[in-house]
C-alpha cells in the first residue's frame, strides 16, 4: 500500500525541522540524507509517534492524518535503529508477550504466528536464546518479527544497517529485499550503499527540504557531466586528495584508481554511480542553504 505525503511541516522551538515535504512512497523506498536532515522525524511522524504542524498523509486513498497527528494503524510498522527489550527473555518469550499484548488470545493461534514470523526473518534456530545474547543484526530481526505479527502493509526502518558488521549488513539487506516483495518498505538511511542495493525509488532530504524524488537511474544522471576516474601513482595520491573532490579509491598493484567529481575534464569520464549522483545533488543544493 502506497503512502502519499503532502506539504508536511514540523517546527521545534522555532527551528524548521521539516519544510513542506511532499513525497509519493511505493515499493522499496529509500529516504536518503545527511545526519540531521529530518529523516528520523519524518519516520516518527508516519508511525504516529510525534506530531507535526501542517500537511496531510494518505495511506492509499485514505487520509490517515487528523489535525497534527498520523493516526496509529496496524497497517504501518516502525522499527527504530536499535531494538532491545526484555534482555532476560528468550526470543520466543518476547514474541509471545507482544502477541498477547496485541490482542492474540492465549491459545495455539499465536504459537503458529510466532513460528511463521521467525521463519520469515531466519531466526528459527535462535528462538530459545535470550535477547541479550543476540547480535545487533539478530535483535533487529526480532524487531521485524514483532512487526510482522500485526501483518502490516507498510514497514518503516530507521538506519537499519547502522552499526552492523559486513556479514550482518549483507544478511539484513537480503531480508529487506525479500520483505519488499510483500510490503511497502521505507528505509531511512545516510548509507548510500543500502539504498543502491535495495531501493526502486529514492527521496532525498537535507535540512528538512526535499531535494529529489525519483528512480536510481534518474539520480545517477545528476553526475553524468562530472564523474571521472584518474590513475594516480602512489606518490601523487596526497596531492590529488588535497585538490580534488574524491568519491572513492581502489588500489591496483602500480597505482590507485581515484574516482572524483569535477566540473573540469580530468582523467577519464565514467558512468556515474548512485553515490556520485547523490553528492552532485548535495553540491548543487549547497548554494541555496
Q: What is the pLDDT of residues 124-183, one digit of tens each?
A: 999 999 999 998 888 989 999 999 988 899 999 998 888 888 888 888 888 999 999 999
Predicted local distance difference test score (pLDDT) of residue 288: 47
User: What is each CA distance from 29 to 26, 102, 176, 215, in whole angstroms?
Assistant: 6, 27, 11, 10
Predicted local distance difference test score (pLDDT) of residue 151: 87
Strands 201-206 and 28-32, bridge-based pairing: parallel
Q: Where does the pLDDT of residue 233 fall: very low under 50, low under 70, confident under 90, or very high at 90 and above?
A: very high
Quick one: residue 114, left, alpha or beta (phi over 0 = left, psi -120 to 50 = alpha)? alpha
User: Would you say how long the chain is, in residues?
Assistant: 289
Q: What is the pLDDT of residues 6-26, one digit of tens each?
A: 999 999 999 999 999 999 999
Q: In what order do the strands lie in the sheet with 15-25?
A: 15-25, 3-12, 54-59, 62-63
Predicted local distance difference test score (pLDDT) of residue 36: 87
Q: What is the pLDDT of residues 76-123, one digit of tens each?
A: 999 987 778 899 999 999 999 888 887 755 555 688 889 999 999 989
For every residue of 113-151, DSSP letters joined together read HHHHHHHHTT-GGGTTSBGGGS-HHHHHHHHHHHHHTT-
Tell me the domains of the chain and their CATH numbers.
3-215 (3.40.50.300), 221-288 (no CATH)
What is the rounded CA–CA span in Å between residue 118 and residue 273?
Answer: 35
Between 197 and 63, whose confidence is greater? 63
In this structure, what DSSP letter does residue 90 have? B
User: What is each CA distance from 227 to 47, 215, 220, in whole angstroms?
Assistant: 38, 19, 10
Report the share of the chain in percent with pLDDT over 90.
70
Q: Which of 146, 144, 131, 51 is CA-nearest to residue 98?
A: 146
Contact present, 135 and 168 (Cβ < 8 Å) = yes
Contact present, 11 and 22 (Cβ < 8 Å) = no
H or E element at residue 8 = strand 3-12
Q: 31, exposed or middle or buried, with CB in 10 Å at 0-12, 13-18, 19+? A: buried
CA angle 40/44/47 to nearest 5° reads 140
C-alpha cell at 118: 521467525
Q: What is the pLDDT of residues 178-217, one digit of tens each?
A: 999 999 999 998 889 889 889 999 999 999 999 999 999 9
Total-model pTM: 0.88
Predicted local distance difference test score (pLDDT) of residue 245: 93
Amino acid at each position: 500500500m502506497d503512502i502519499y505525503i503532502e506539504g508536511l511541516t514540523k517546527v521545534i522551538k522555532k527551528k524548521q525541522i521539516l519544510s513542506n515535504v511532499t513525497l509519493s512512497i511505493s515499493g522499496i523506498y529509500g529516504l536518503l540524507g545527511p545526519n540531521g536532515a529530518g529523516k528520523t522525524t519524518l519516520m516518527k511522524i508516519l508511525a504516529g509517534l510525534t506530531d507535526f504542524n501542517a500537511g496531510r498523509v494518505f495511506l492509499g486513498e485514505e487520509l490517515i492524518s487528523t489535525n497534527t497527528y498520523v493516526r496509529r494503524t496496524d497497517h504501518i510498522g516502525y522499527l527504530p535503529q536499535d531494538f532491545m527489550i526484555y534482555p532476560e527473555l528468550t526470543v520466543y518469550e518476547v514474541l509471545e508477550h507482544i502477541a498477547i499484548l496485541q490482542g492474540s488470545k492465549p491459545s495455539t493461534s499465536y504459537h503458529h504466528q510466532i513460528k511463521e514470523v521467525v521463519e520469515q526473518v531466519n531466526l528459527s534456530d535462535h528462538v530459545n536464546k535470550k535477547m541479550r545474547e543476540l547480535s545487533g543484526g539478530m535483535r533487529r530481526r526480532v524487531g521485524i518479527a514483532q512487526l510482522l505479527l500485526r501483518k502490516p502493509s507498510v514497514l518503516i526502518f530507521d538506519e537499519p544497517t547502522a552499526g552492523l558488521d559486513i556479514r550482518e549488513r549483507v544478511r539484513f539487506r537480503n531480508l529487506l529485499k525479500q520483505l519488499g516483495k510483500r510490503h511497502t518498505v521505507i528505509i531511512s538511511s545516510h548509507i548510500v550503499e543500502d539504498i543502491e542495493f535495495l531501493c526502486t525509488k529514492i527521496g532525498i532530504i537535507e535540512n528538512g527540504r526535499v531535494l529529489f524524488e525519483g528512480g536510481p537511474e534518474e539520480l545517477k544522471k545528476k553526475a553524468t557531466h562530472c564523474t571521472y576516474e584518474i590513475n594516480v601513482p602512489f606518490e601523487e595520491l596526497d596531492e590529488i586528495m588535497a585538490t580534488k573532490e574524491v568519491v572513492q579509491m581502489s588500489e591496483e598493484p602500480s597505482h590507485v584508481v581515484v574516482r572524483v567529481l569535477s566540473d573540469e575534464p580530468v582523467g577519464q569520464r565514467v558512468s556515474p554511480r548512485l553515490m556520485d549522483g547523490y553528492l552532485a545533488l548535495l553540491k548543487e543544493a549547497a548554494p541555496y542553504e
